[in-house]
Structure 1
Amino acid sequence: MSGRGGGESATAPPGGAGSVDVKSVFIGAGCNRIVNNVSWGPSGLVSFGAQNAVALFHPQSAQIFTTLPGHKAAVNCTWWLPSKKDPYEVQNAEKHYLLSGSADGVILIWEVHPAERKWRRVLQIPESHKKGVTCITSTFISLDVAFIASTSSDGMVLVWKMVLPADKAEDCGLTCVERIPVGSKPMVALSLAKLPGQEGTLVLAMGGLDHKIHLYCGDSTGKFLQSCTLKGHTDWIRSLDFSLPVHSKSGESSIFLVSSSQDKNIRIWKISLLTSPVNHNSQHKERKDEKGLASYIEGPKLVAGSFSYQISLESLLIGHEDWVYSVEWHPPLPVSTNVTERCQPLSILSASMDKTMMIWRPEKTTGIWVNAVTVGELSHCALGFYGGHWGPLGDSILAHGYGGSFHLWRDAGCGFENWLPQKVPSGHFGAVSDISWARSGEYLLSVSHDQTARIFAPWIDEACQASWHEIARPQVHGHDINCLAIIEGKGNHHYVSGADEKVARVFEAPLSFLKSLKYANFPKAGSSEDLPYDVLILGANMSALGLSQRPIYVQASNNTSDGSPNAADSLEYVPDAVPTVLTEPPVEDQLAWHTLWPESHKLYGHGNELVSLCCDHAGRLVASSCKAQSAPVAEIWLWEVGSWRAVGRLPSHSLTVTQMEFSPDDSLLLAVSRDRHFSVFSIEKSGCEMDCRLLARQEAHKRIIWACSWNPFGHQFATGSRDKTVKLWAIAGGAVRLALTLPPFGSGVTALSWAGRNRSLNHGLLAVGLESGLIELWSLTGGSGGPAVISAQPTARLDPLLCHVSTVNRLHWREDDHGPTAQLASCGADNCVRVLEFSLR
């Protein structure tokens, strides 16, 4: 598998109708909630696991520019080779390697060209683990030879020797040189380093469930022998990291090992080279004199070949209030006189589940390690950090949290430290179940099983350059959200969402969002109507013991949410959110707490979890369906927008209605179901009366029908099924006939979206999303009425790098795109939201 960033050419299958140019406009994805998932390489690229894919982004742009498909299970860990501690010459090579390990024990190696943003899959490591990979580490022993170690819940630590090719056209060589069984208590943290004083001697530190740190020594052949064990931690070891060699004023050569644990503590171990017992005694005395008040506890000796090393506990760092998941040494910095020579700053970054990251340094006078910097996440829904990482130059720090979110701080101080939050990519950390464009296409709304609704939109900067970001998080829910419908028609921005709680909820955009949307200078934000500044609701607050998002009114925005002076004494009290008008893309703290939308109504009626919602184009009716195993429960409910009363119940199906859609003229409602049938209802509204009747019900496929979509220019529609087929249907004279069946696809069809391109020719594009995650594009023409026949030609089969890595849940064209380009939004079970732009030929 190979590819590159930016535009991709999607070639039509044999017999297709030409080709189209496709480029990825936006990728939104959250980080898998697991330790060791993120790696920040010396090239400046950050890698992380997003469900089954490996995502790459550059912090300067705050944009995910690709996801790498290949894994068949969730990605647990990633690691850049070279790392930030490897030789300067290796770091500046034309190509870098990325290693990724997944929950099924597979490790893949990717070749990445950072300058050109090209990448390709090199190989799958043979003899890999039988269970989930939990940690990967590496170190270079020469400019073309590196050692890689990995650990897994299968109780094995594996070591490979990797030889880089001399010829650019060749692939790297990989050999498994050691298999270390660790028993019934697996290791979850690893670190590799070269020992000072002798060439080609390595030390491997591993820690895990037995609360101990095990040190193994090896040579250039890759054979490792256990040397000693370090005790002190009282809970699982979560992270280990070796420093580069540090040389003291007395000429002592040492390396440091930092360890963190679920016991909330951090320990720094010093490993000093000993030449002889005599020298050892004198060095011991010099160290005591040199450190003064610094703690010094002598530990075991580490023997590697003919050399021995004294291990001592340098410091115990106490400050975090919860499990410390990550510790990392400051990246080495070049010496000013020689860029290839680098020194190791004595500075450690730690990340904890107490929602903070800390930078630790020894005081200049006493040498005692102290907490010099603390940054953190203040959101009420935050549950802490799974890891923290230094930028290549040490002027930026990145954390990834429980909510799949990233948090980036950069030191903006001149002569003093001033760590300020920066923009980062964001997205869902659960399967994205539904998406919809706003009625004017200015933003994209998505809902997910991570129990949030998010709004993504292009933000135009001062240079008139548009970049996509998450600009609001209108709903933070207590249940998995399965479906949504944006209310069409004029008026304020509304949407309805349905979740596992059996209730549909209606949300209305607050004044703070409307002003932020206007400020973002979207081309169509104010084209249809003026901004309704008479909106009295500024934002919303989440109650502590409930799921309702209560409104914050403009005139009461400075008071407590219930107006009571004793609100702080109530069990339901939560500090008020402070909705703000955004003048730049928000950071995670703002998104999670200050961009909620107030809930205006609840729609009760369904007896099971909601599955599908849709709204007509006039903004008058909303249809809803729920999970069902009987005909009475499978009824479709119709709701009147505004009054939000139930105005109709449509019986037809015997099992769950999976998707619904109103025809372009709103006269018909199409529904498809698990019972393999589709139904077409005639909808007529006269004043307060609603006339709904079943026009047609037909068994259409051999298996579940997952998706449907209307032709925007007429009464034709498409249905897609698990039986791997798409069928096109036409309605004429009140009867439905099969117009065309497309050739079978490679896997089940799970999403469809039909876009109109030329009304006079009834020409359109049908996007087909598959259970495999792939997307295909078909050109449809004809069938405008009577006996006319619809013709279909395959237009593009998209590169897997542009598609999802698991089931496509929904596709949605941007409806106002009738020019030479068109935008398609997609979402999937891989936690991703994507926007693709097609240049049509």
Structure 2
Amino acid sequence: MVNIEVERVFIGGGCNRIVNNVSWGACGLVSFGSQNAVSIFNPQTAKILTTLPGHKASVNCTHWLPNSKFAYKASDWEKHYLLSGDAQGVIVLWEFTLAENKWRYVSQLEVSHKKGVTCITAVVLSRNEAIFASTSSDCVVNLWKLALSDGAGDCTIINLHSLSTGLKPMVTLSLAELPGSTTHLILAMGGLDNKIHLYCGERTGQFVRACELKGHTDWIRSLDFSLPLSLTGEPHNLLLVSSSQDKGIRIWKMVLCDSAGNFDKTKAVNSLAYYIKGPVFVAGSFSYQVSLESLVIGHEDWVYSVEWQPPSLKENKTCYQPQSILSASMDKTMMIWQPERTTGIWVNVVTVGELSHSALGFYGGHWSPDGDSILAHGYGGSFHLWKNFGSEIGNWKPQKVPSGHFAAVTDIAWGRCGEYLMSVSDDQTTRIFALWLNEAKLRGDDTWHEIARPQVHGHDINCLAIIQGKGNHRFVSGADEKVARVFEAPLSFLKTLNHATSNLHDDLQVDVQVLGANMSALGLSQKPIYVQASSETSERSGNEGFDTLETIPDAVPSVLTEPPIEEQLAWHTLWPESHKLYGHGNELFSLCCDHQGKLVASSCKAQSMSVAEIWLWEVGTWKAVGRLQSHSLTVTRMEFSHDDKYLLAVSRDRHLSLFFIDQTDQTSYQLLTRQEAHKRIVWACSWNPFGHQFATGSRDKIVKIWEVQKESCVQLMTLPAFKSSVTALSWTGLHEHNNNGVLAVGMENGLIELWSLSFANSEQDSSISPPKASLIIQFDPFMCHVSSVNRLAWRISTKDDGSESMQLASCGADHCVRIFKVSFV
């Protein structure tokens, strides 16, 4: 076990549900905040490539330097940069080297905001220089100059100016170079006072107020400057697009007037032209006239983002700014707007969106650097990507994107044969991730996707147990309610799984008469849709019956022949609920199933011994066959030994309990021992697959190894203290080394370690040769979670040459599900 390799196979995670969170870089990668991490994904492969640890609070906004707007300047850049701001006001700069595909934490800005950062914008002046602005709910806008390193040198960041915006904070910013001027920049800001504020300043100094633009009647949500473009033969026109919660989009034109030497501001302000045409402002030796170019109406809800199509380089190396604007709204649509050639009136030329009833609109929309793709992120933490396969306006088709939970992931479990990974979360969903084999063969690498969303609930889901043994795929989930729910795989899922994994389950499909499931609008239960009923429904006309609150559009369970997109997942992949398990007095907290698939154990949140009892349920009849009393506070984790003789439970009361389970005739149980295990809450436990040893992990940063001896348990050893609370454990055996194992340890700081454990071959020898433990590897922090690891789970596969390749799945409070490949060479 000297040579060990760990590689990251998959990251599944959702996007923080906040405006300005997503940025599409000139390098083609997309950045977004996922809880405390900055996540990076590649739209070409629909894979999350990495997560960057460094923030201590939720990431609110990210911004690439250069982003897609400045892609025409960055065709030969070797290094790209990323800014990220969080809910505590901290801004971090990252460096990405294209050739090596490596990330580096550069620095944290010294003059940070006192409250959460809400927007970052930047203008890239040259390969070595950029100016960016940040705004926060502390009513301050900071301007910075960034000298980018061209080679070995480091970046330097200078704070140019801090602007106070009074009592109402600004929520959106945009920066641009003023047309005709090589020294002056213009900063537009908008926020809660419904006005757009323009400030001018030199690249090196302070910014001064230029003018205000009035017109919007609600909060201003997004601003974006175009590159200077030529309109009707006039050179040097700068366009600004703004969107608001008043559902409207406005386009403002800034025209270069004569030089400022011939300009009398007081006279201009009092003139009639000032009120008709709009305000005039001076910057350096030039003056500019601002006027409203167009008012664009079409969305039915708040317009959260507007963005100009990125400029492109023509063959003669001149830069061309297309007159095309992308808007994203809470009305579940994104629209592309362009002026008509004859009238110049801005019209909607493309509309894409999400028709699912479960969607609640888009927080932002973004262009790809070449303008042939558009990306939205929505209320459900989800991404939506469309690509243009046609001519100018063309044929926009939805594409695959990464997906995952948008709240803490509380539990995971592998399918019975390891063909999929199931996870549950505080985002009130259960999700299934699987390797899509056909796609993997084409690409030559592991391509995991979310293939189903079996449960969409009304409560945060805390725990999960997949029923082992033969028969159809079933699982039990427990949420912030007093009921455990049992679900059974429908026919549509079994057929989808065949397409994904090529593991034929024809024997199961014969008996399954349920095609999928439907959800009632005001209920929490998922009702089955039967194969026969489904065909009858499709034959009937769609106008029958009345539309009441109790009915929502019927789901159409479909067999997926390629990885699904969000619309399919959210509605058409539900599993029917077969049973409810009543008995607990509080919210469910932990579940586990034995290895034969005969018993399920459940526990709930508890403050007293009577509520903290463990219930045993018989699989199939779903009768309660036992109520095990031992603990006085919440039982945090339970696990059956691999021969199903013992049930181990650990609790908030710092104790462990060991029960003997006898299933020979009728299920009977007996408490063998209850003893104090740790000085703080015990969060995790795990059995040795080849023996009756087990490990416990606690908030006291200690992992202890125990052994069952003569109807009691004895502590064998204590691992050296960890740097953080131990929150997850998973023990796996190595088949060629009997009684040797690998223990995965997950911690509150997000890090994961693997430890080697070896024991004597029999209980008698243990006194002569004590067990040994040694650290094998600490995972690279860039591969790990950025906050607490909630659960770890091993999946083992043996290769043809006899070497073992194991996969370790983990889930955490950072909204992520991760899969690692661990190879012993």
State whether TM-score is above 0.5.
yes
In structure 2, the partner of 1:411 is 388
1:131 partner letter: K
Give the C-alpha shift of residue 609 in structure 1: 0.4
Aligned length: 804
CA distance in 1, matches of 2:43, 2:2: 37
137-146 or 65-74: bigger deviation: 137-146
Partner of 2:806: 822
Q: Offset of 1:88 from its aligned partner?
A: 3.2
Q: Offset of 1:817 from its aligned partner?
A: 5.3
* 1:657 correspondence with 2:635: yes
* Aligned match for 1:508, one of 488, 501, 505: 488
SS at match of 1:533: helix
* 2:755 and 2:777 in contact (8 A); partners too: yes
Partner of 2:272: none
Task: Single out whichever of 176-185 and 115-124 deviates more from structure 2.
Answer: 115-124
**Local SS of the residue matching 2:808:** strand
Q: Counterpart amino acid of 1:345? A: P
Distance in 1 of aligned mates of 2:544 and 2:507 = 40
Alpha-carbon distance in 2 for matches of 1:598, 1:565: 26
Shift, 1:18, TM fit: 3.7
1:156 aligns with 2:140: yes
**Inter-partner Cα distance in structure 1 for 2:404 and 2:645:** 36
Residue 469 in structure 1 maps to residue 449 in structure 2 = yes
Aligned equivalent of 1:711: 688
1:373 aligns with 2:336: no
Extract unaligned runs of 5+ from structure 2.
264-274
Question: Retained in 2: the 8 A contact 1:720–1:750?
Answer: yes
CA RMSD of superposed structures (Å): 2.0
Q: Which one-letter code corresponds to 1:629 in the other structure?
A: Q
SS in 2 for 1:544: coil
Secondary structure in 2 aligned to 1:86? helix
1:479 paired residue number: 459
Alpha-carbon separation, structure 2, partners of 1:628 and 1:190? 49
What's the CA shift for 1:418? 0.7
- The aligned counterpart of 2:47 is 63
Deviations 1:663-700 (A, max 9, x none): 0011110000000110110111233x221110111101
Aligned to 2:154: 171
2:271 aligned partner: none
- Given that residues 26 and 74 in structure 2 are in contact (C-alpha distance below 8 angstroms), is that contact kept between their aligned partners in structure 1? no
Is 219-228 or 715-724 further displaced after alignment?
219-228
Match among 494, 497, 509 for residue 517 of structure 1: 497
Which residue does the alignment assign to 1:623? 601
Does 1:325 find its partner at 2:304?
A: yes
Per-residue displacement from partner, 1:24-61 (whole Å, max 9, x unpaired)? 00000000000000000111000000000000011000
| Among 602, 621, 625, the residue aligned to 1:643 | 621
- Deviations 1:766-806 (CA, angstroms, capped at 9, x unpaired): 00000111001000111444241321111001110111000
For 1:645 and 1:219, locate their aligned partners in 2 and report how far apart those are by CA, in whole Å.
Answer: 76
CA distance in 2, matches of 1:496, 1:477: 13
Counterpart of 2:590, as a letter, is S
796, 806, 821: which one aligns with 2:777: 796
The separation in 2 between residues aligned to 1:584 and 1:498, in whole angstroms, is 30
Identify which range, 452-461 or 622-631, moves more after superposition.
Answer: 452-461
User: Cα 1:122–1:214, aligned 2, differ >3 Å: closer, same or farther?
Assistant: same
| Mean CA deviation greater in 324-333 or 247-256 | 247-256
Counterpart of 2:296, as a letter, is L
Q: What pairs with 1:286-325 in structure 2 (closer than 5 Å)?
A: 298-325=277-304
Separation in 1, partners of 2:593, 2:678: 26
Q: C-alpha offsets along residues 800-833 of structure 1, whole Å, 9 cap, x if unaligned?
A: 0111000000000014458432100000000000
8 Å CA contact 1:297–1:313 kept in 2: the answer is no
Counterpart of 2:338 (choices 336, 361, 368) is 361
Equivalent in the alignment of 2:546: 568
What TM-score comes out, normalization by structure 2 length? Answer: 0.95
Given that residues 80 and 98 in structure 1 are in contact (C-alpha distance below 8 angstroms), is that contact kept between their aligned partners in structure 2? Answer: yes
1:577 aligns with 2:561: no
Distance in 1 between the 2:817 and 2:568 partners? 21
Counterpart in the other structure of 2:646: 668
Superposed displacement of residue 303, structure 1: 1.3
Task: Give the Cα separation in 2 of the matches to 1:212 and 1:574.
Answer: 41
- TM-score norm. by structure 1 comes to 0.93
1:248 is displaced (CA, Å) by 2.8
**Residue of structure 2 in register with 1:809 after alignment:** 790
Whether contact under 8 Å (1:87, 1:140) holds in the other structure is no
3-state SS of paired residue (1:461): helix
Residue identity opposite 1:592 in structure 2: A
Query: What displacement does 1:91 show?
Result: 4.6
Whether the aligned pair in 2 keeps the contact of 1:26 and 1:834 (CA below 8 Å) is: yes
| Residue 682 of structure 1: aligned partner | 660
Mapped contact 1:378–1:589 kept (Cα < 8 A): yes
SS in 2 for 1:530: helix
Match 2:701 to one of 721, 724, 731: 724
Match of 1:239 in 2: 222
Instruction: Indicate the residue corresponding to 2:163 in structure 1.
Output: 180
Once residues 379 and 457 of structure 1 are traced to their aligned partners in structure 2, the CA distance between those partners, rounded to angstroms, is 23
Which residue in the other structure is 2:270 paired with?
none
Bigger shift: 529-538 or 788-797?
Answer: 529-538
Match of 2:206 among 216, 220, 223: 223
Structure 1 residues 411, 632: CA separation in 2 closer, same or farther (over 3 Å shift)?
same
Contact 2:71–2:369 (Cα < 8 Å) also in 1: no
Provide the secondary structure at the position in 2 that maps to 1:731.
strand
Q: CA separation of 1:269/1:549 partners in 2, compared to 1, >3 Å: closer, same or farther?
A: same
Q: CA deviation at 1:342?
A: 1.3
Matched, 1:147 2:147: no
Q: Distance in 1 between matches of 2:10 and 2:74?
A: 32
- AA aligned to 2:306 is V
Question: What is the distance in 2 between the residues matched to 1:87 and 1:712?
Answer: 54
1:436 aligns with 2:419: no
| Structure 2: distance between partners of 1:44 and 1:267 | 29
Contact 2:68–2:367 under 8 Å retained in 1: no
Q: Amino acid of the residue matched to residue 307 of structure 2?
A: E
Percent identical among aligned pairs is 66
Residue from 727, 741, 749 that aligns with 2:718 = 741
